[in-house]
Amino acid sequence: MNPVTGNRRIVILLYPKVRELDVAGVVDVFSSANQLLPEERRYQIDYISTEAEEQLEGMHGMHIRSGMHYSLMKGKVDTLLVPGGLGVGASRATTPLLKWLKRQAKDSRRIGSVCVGAFLLAEAGLLNGRRATTHWAYARQLAEEFPEIKVEPDPIWVKDGIFYSSAGATSGIDLSLAMVEEDHGRKVALEVARQLVVFLCRPGNQAQFSISLQEQMTEHRPLRDLQIWMLEHLSADLSIPALAARAAMSERNFQRVFTREIGKSPAQYVEEIRIEAVRRKLERSTHGMKEIAAACGFSCADVMGRSFMRQLKITPAEYRARFHSSGISA
């Protein structure tokens, strides 16, 4: 990697109802890096806006001082970043903005999005044929609206060519740290992470951890009752024949109805809820891997480890080392 030898211009696109944390997290990373860098290598951080007003109201009511209107911006951009927020929908309908983004893509060294900011890049056609991610709750929508994009719902950030995309708000911090590391080396990025008290650097292929089981609950009452029972009996026989019998359905019909209602196969769902339980035990207990595997329904620690790695792209031991809370036991 060749470290940056001159100033780099970071331009952040603002719009009404932008998510404040998406903006603040990114700015904090690059501003903190500036405190460590000699003046000639620091980032120049500029703000541009979709509106002409001096202030914008953020998604949660904070007022943000906006920069110049994007159409008035002059000069070369090194990195253009698009944060997420409720207002991204209105921005997607702004044809001049989409054309402007396409022009910037030809001249900028890199373009990135945080959370649902990916929808704006997608609307401009910049992600067609590329890998991209967004917040897990919106990944399916992104894939359905833009089938030409290779949407990856699990990673916290993805790089494909000059285009970067990240998941939820805090993953924008991870993405920014990765950019700092690209530009100035791991030592600088590590020091920034220490100042911000965050983990450096969650690799881009690490899975998003905050998958809510409640969001996966179906409105189909018999299956919802079965889901609750499964969560309370992880070490029981959760095979398709056993679950179908409990639901008083044929195996074939059970698989069909379950997949339709839940959006994934019974086997996928069972693996996910067991891994969720493993995560909690790794975070909150000092139990050994064999004990955790048995309690969560895995035949052995090796099988648990392979499943854990497949879902979260990290080993159980590595996960515990990073996320264990020493003051909690379960």
Residue 14 has pLDDT above 50, yes or no: yes
Task: Check whether residue 131 and residue 248 sit in a common domain.
Answer: no
Domain that holds residue 136: 8-196
308 Cβ neighbours under 8 A, 6+ residues apart: 275, 278, 314, 315, 316, 319
Task: Check whether residue 222 and residue 129 sit in a common domain.
Answer: no
Task: Check whether residue 34 and residue 157 sit in a common domain.
Answer: yes
User: Between these two residues, 286 and 200, which has the higher pLDDT value?
Assistant: 286
Nearest to 241 by CA among 232, 233, 251: 251
* pLDDT tens digit sequence for 65-98: 988 999 999 999 999 999 999 999 888 888 999 9
Within a domain: residue 329?
Answer: no
CB atoms within 10 A of CB 144: 9
Within a domain: residue 159?
Answer: yes
CATH number where 128 lies? 3.40.50.880
Predicted pLDDT of residue 217: 56
* Residue at token pair 């069909």: 256
Within a domain: residue 202?
Answer: no
Task: Check whether residue 138 and residue 254 sit in a common domain.
Answer: no
Within a domain: residue 1?
Answer: no
CB atoms within 10 A of CB 206: 21
Task: Check whether residue 140 and residue 220 sit in a common domain.
Answer: no
Task: Check whether residue 189 and residue 267 sit in a common domain.
Answer: no
Within a domain: residue 21?
Answer: yes
Task: Check whether residue 149 and residue 233 sit in a common domain.
Answer: no
Q: What is the mean pLDDT of residues 147-153?
A: 94
Task: Check whether residue 28 and residue 164 sit in a common domain.
Answer: yes
* pLDDT tens digit sequence for 224-243: 889 889 988 999 999 999 99
Cis-peptide into 201, omega within 30 deg: yes
Task: Check whether residue 261 and residue 178 sit in a common domain.
Answer: no
Instruction: Please give the backbone phi and psi of residue 160, each rounded to the nearest 5 degrees, phi first.
Output: -140, 105
Task: Give me the amino acid identity at 64.
Answer: I
Predicted pLDDT of residue 186: 78
Task: Check whether residue 123 and residue 238 sit in a common domain.
Answer: no
Within a domain: residue 228?
Answer: yes
Within a domain: residue 275?
Answer: yes
* Number of domains the chain contains: 2
Tokens of 249: 């359905």
Within a domain: residue 128?
Answer: yes
Model confidence band, residue 1 (pLDDT cutoffs 50, 70, 90):
very low
Instruction: Encode the chain in three state secondary structure.
Output: CCCCCCCEEEEEEECCCECHHHHHHHHHHHHHHHHHCCHHHCEEEEEEECCCCCEEECCCCCEEECCEEHHHCCCCCCEEEECCECCHHHHHCCHHHHHHHHHHHHHCCEEEEECCHHHHHHHCCCCCCCEECCCHHHHHHHHHHCCCCEECCCECEEEECCEEEECCHHHHHHHHHHHHHHHHCHHHHHHHHHHHCCCCCCCCCCECCCCCCHHHCCCCHHHHHHHHHHHHCCCCCCCHHHHHHHCCCCHHHHHHHHHHHHCCCHHHHHHHHHHHHHHHHHHHCCCCHHHHHHHCCCCCHHHHHHHHHHHHCCCHHHHHHHHCCCCCCC
Q: What is the mean pLDDT of residues 286-304?
A: 96
Which pTM was predicted? 0.66
Task: Check whether residue 159 and residue 52 sit in a common domain.
Answer: yes
Task: Give me the amino acid identity at 96.
Answer: P
* pLDDT tens digit sequence for 162-215: 999 999 878 899 899 989 989 998 788 888 888 887 754 555 555 554 443 444
Predicted pLDDT of residue 328: 40
CATH number where 265 lies? 1.10.10.60
* pLDDT tens digit sequence for 113-122: 999 999 999 9
Task: Check whether residue 120 and residue 249 sit in a common domain.
Answer: no
